[in-house]
Structure 1
Amino acid sequence: MKKLSLSNIIFVVVIALLIIPQTRKPIQVALQKIRVQLFSPSTLDKEDQQQLEPFTYHLRSLDGISKGIEIGQGRVTFISYWATWCPPCIAEFPSIDKLFKDYGNEIDFLLITNEDPEIVKRFLKEKEFDIPVVLPQMNTPEELYESSIPTSYIIDATGKIIIKEQGAVDWNSTEIREVIDQLIIN
C-alpha cells in the first residue's frame, strides 16, 4: 500500500473544503482577492474603444425608486454588473467601494444586479458598504451585454467605453485613478 504524502493530504483536504458549501465560497473569495491584488484594469486600445449612442439607463434603487442615468451625455460613468453570490464580485467590491467614496460625487456609479433587494441590502449592511446598488428596469444595452459577472466598464462623458473588464480586479489602483482624473478634466 502506498504512503500518503503531505502534498496528497493537503490536496484531498482542499478538494473536500471546496465540496462543502459552507467553506467553498470563502475559499473562492480568498483566491479572487489574490487576483484583485495582482491585476488592475487597463485602458482599451483606441481602436477597441467602442462609441455608444447616448441613452438613458432606466434603473430602480433598492428602495424601489425609479431613476434614469444619462450615459454619454456629459458625465463619466462606472458600470458594474455583479451579484452577492459571485466570489469574484465579492472580492473586487471593496476596491469599487473605495473608488466610490472618492469619486462618487464626480462620476456616476451604477452597480447593477438582478437580485432580490433585501438580499442586496443585507449584503451591503453586513460588509459595511455604502455604495448605491441599482436594479435594471430595461434590458442591458447590447454593447454592454456580457454573459459573465463581474463585468465592469468606465465610459467617458461622450459615451466611449474606455475600460471594459471581466473578472475581479483592483478598481482602486493608481492607474485607474489616473484614468478617471483625466476623464474628469476633459
Structure 2
Amino acid sequence: MKKPKFSASNIIFLIVIALLIIPQTRQPIQVFLQKGLAMISPSEISADKRETLKTYENWNLVDSKGNPFDFKQAEGKVVFINFWATWCPPCIAEMPSINELYADYKDDVIFLLVSNEKAETIKGFRSKNNYNFEFYQSINNAPTQLQSNSIPQTYLIDKKGSIVMNKSGAANWNSDSVRKLLDDLVASE
C-alpha cells in the first residue's frame, strides 16, 4: 500500500478548512477574503438601461438617535443607499471604503446605510469601528425598485431619481471611478 503524501498545499488547505470551521476565526477570514474581492470598483449602469424610481413616498427610516427620516426628503438629491448587516462579511469588508467616501461627500450626497438589526447592535458596531456616517433602520418597506434579498446591496441614485449604480456584493466605493461619477452627479442640474 502507498503512504498518503502530505504536500505543503494539502496541509495549508486543511488548516484553512479548520479555521473556517472554528466560529471565532471564521468571520475574520471571510472579511479578509471579501476585502480582496471588494477591491473591484462597481460599474455604472448605461443611461439607456437605468430604472427611475417611481416614488420617494412611503419609505420611512429612523437613525441611531431615534430621529425619523422620510425618504421623500431625498427627492432631487444624489443618494447613496446601502443595505447591510453587522454579521455579513462582505458588508464589513466594504464599510471602510464607504466611510472614506462619506468623509468627502457627506455635504453633497445623502448616505443611507440601512440595517434591520437592533439599534444597540448597530451602535456597538459603529463605535467599535469608528465609522462617521449615520446608520438607519427601515420602519417600512423601501420602494419596489430598491428591494433585494441579498446584502450588501447598494444603489446610487441621481437627482432625477435614476438608479445609476445597482451593486450586489462587496465593492470598493472609494474608487476613482465612483468619485468621478459622484462629482458629475453632484454638479448636474
TM-score range, shorter chain: over 0.9
Give the residue type in structure 2 aligned to 1:55: Y
Mapped partners of 1:155, 1:12: distance in 2: 45
Counterpart in 2 of 1:34? 36
Moved more, 64-73 or 93-102: 64-73
Counterpart in 2 of 1:54? 55
Matches within 5 A, 1:88-167: 88-167=90-169
How far 1:90 moved relative to its partner?
0.3
SS in 2 for 1:92: helix
Q: Deviations over 1:88-109 (max 9, x none)?
A: 0000000001111100111100
Given candidates 174, 178, 181, the residue that maps to 2:180 is 178
Q: Percent identity?
A: 43
Q: Deviations over 1:117-175 (max 9, x none)?
A: 10110111111101100000111221111111000010001100000101111000010
Asked if structure 2 preserves the Cα contact closer than 8 Å seen for 1:72 and 1:159, the reply is no
Q: Deviations over 1:36-94 (max 9, x none)?
A: 12x00110022221011231431101122212133662100000000000000000000
Give the residue type in structure 1 aligned to 2:101: L
User: Which 4+ residue blocks in structure 1 deviate beyond 2 angstroms?
Assistant: 69-73
Mapped partners of 1:30, 1:78: distance in 2: 24
Mapped partners of 2:74, 2:66: distance in 1: 25
Q: Which runs of 5+ in 2 are unaligned?
A: none
Asked if structure 2 preserves the Cα contact closer than 8 Å seen for 1:156 and 1:162, the reply is yes
TM-score for the superposition, normalised by structure 2:
0.94
Mapped partners of 1:83, 1:48: distance in 2: 29
TM-score for the superposition, normalised by structure 1:
0.96
Aligned length: 185
Alignment partner of 1:43 is 2:44: yes
Given candidates 16, 19, 29, the residue that maps to 1:17 is 19
Asked if structure 1 preserves the Cα contact closer than 8 Å seen for 2:84 and 2:113, the reply is yes
Asked if structure 1 preserves the Cα contact closer than 8 Å seen for 2:55 and 2:143, the reply is no
